[in-house]
Amino acid sequence: MSKQSIVDQYQKSENISQIIKALQQDKTSLQLKDLVGSSLSFVIAETFKKTDRPYLLIFDNKEEAAYYLNDLEQLLGAKNVLFYPSSYRRPYQIEETDNANVLLRSEVLNRINSRKKPAVIITYPTALFEKVVTKKELEKNTLKVTVGENLSLDFVNEILFEYKFKRVDFVTEPGDFSVRGGIIDVFSFSNDEPYRIEFFGDEIDSIRTFDVATQLSKEKLKKIAIIPNIENKTLKESRESFLKYISDKTLVFSKNNDLLTGSLDLFFKKAEEAFDNLPKETKHAKPVDLFCDGAFIKKQLLRFFFGEFWEREKP
């Protein structure tokens, strides 16, 4: 059976109609039971298309989240599905930060902040465990560049240094930038490809993305947002939970709410232990300023429509 024929069956399903009706009636909770295989993906995809509201799906772990990410990208298209991962392996171990994950997290925050159309965001407990900079701080640490704008190359160069970007000969990863004549190449933490900004005097003449390997220009853009590594835990910015970022209209679904809160409590306890073992001569932010425990997230979830889903037990 083809994917489209399965989609057609779900579109005609009375169960899907009932779920959509419940969501449109602004009920505070919903339970989806006896789901098998990829059935959850089809249910989410069809209801997402009909409700036009953002979704947040919380799975038990990264591997499970990645599985459903792949499913939903196939059903809804990659631009409508975002992955929100954790940025590192252990609290207070900055050297273990994963730049690829930092990039994905920043892309999600930038998408939310830009108020583009709703998307399905997929995440898991360790990602929600980390607090993020507030919307106000993100705005303050974002450089917006528009074609035709009067903006000197020296000013952009200075701002990038202030944002802790590293000047290199050729950009290869997020946080790099290079200057050649009237051109700045910069790899923002909010996009998976670097930008090439061309100046004509003190005016932005053109903006393009480009391929790191070939150095060839790709997509032409009218405006961009350049964001530094906002997951840098040495920064002093105010932080809040990811749930404060998303719209109140977001439909939040969790596979196992008890596991979610229990996992967050365990992570928080480990963060407190790591904090207690840090060198005392260096000042570090306290765990409560950087991370969320189970009770904190549980309280914040009360703002949203909240649903749980269960797979049918295997015989």
Three-class secondary structure of residue 225 per DSSP: strand
When pLDDT is cut at 50, 70 and 90, the band that residue 233 belongs to is low
- The answer, yes or no, to whether residue 58 has pLDDT greater than 90, is yes
Q: What is the mean pLDDT of residues 131-140?
A: 85
When pLDDT is cut at 50, 70 and 90, the band that residue 285 belongs to is confident
Among residues 231, 8, 234, the alpha carbon closest in space to that of 100 is found at 231
Among residues 163, 123, 141, 158, the alpha carbon closest in space to that of 263 is found at 123
Query: pLDDT digit string (tens) for 93-106?
Result: 655 567 778 888 88
pLDDT attached to residue 236:
62
Q: Which two tokens stand for residue 80?
A: 């409508």
Question: Are the CB atoms for 167 and 179 separated by under 8 Å?
Answer: yes
142-226 CATH fold:
Penicillin-binding protein 1b fold (3.30.2060)
DSSP 122-135: EE-HHHHHB-EE-H
- The answer, yes or no, to whether residue 220 has pLDDT greater than 80, is yes
Buried b (16+ CB within 10 A) or exposed e, 65-93: beebbebbbebbeeebbbbbbbbbeebbe
Mean pLDDT of the chain: 86
Q: Cα–chain-centroid distance for residue 203?
A: 32
Which residue bears the tokens 């365990």?
266
Instruction: Report the amino acid identity of residue 172.
Output: T
pTM (global) more than 0.75 = yes
Q: Which residues are 206's β-sheet partners?
A: 198
pLDDT attached to residue 63:
94
Which residue bears the tokens 């965001």?
121
Q: What is the mean pLDDT of residues 236-240?
A: 78
Percent of the chain predicted with pLDDT > 90: 50
Query: pLDDT digit string (tens) for 190-215?
Result: 888 999 999 999 999 999 999 999 98
In the chain, what are the domain boundaries? 3-137+241-311, 142-226
DSSP letter, residue 60: S
pLDDT attached to residue 315:
46
Q: Which two tokens stand for residue 137?
A: 């701080």
Q: How far is residue 133's CA from residue 140's CA, in Å, rounded to a whole number? A: 10
3-137+241-311 CATH fold:
Rossmann fold (3.40.50)
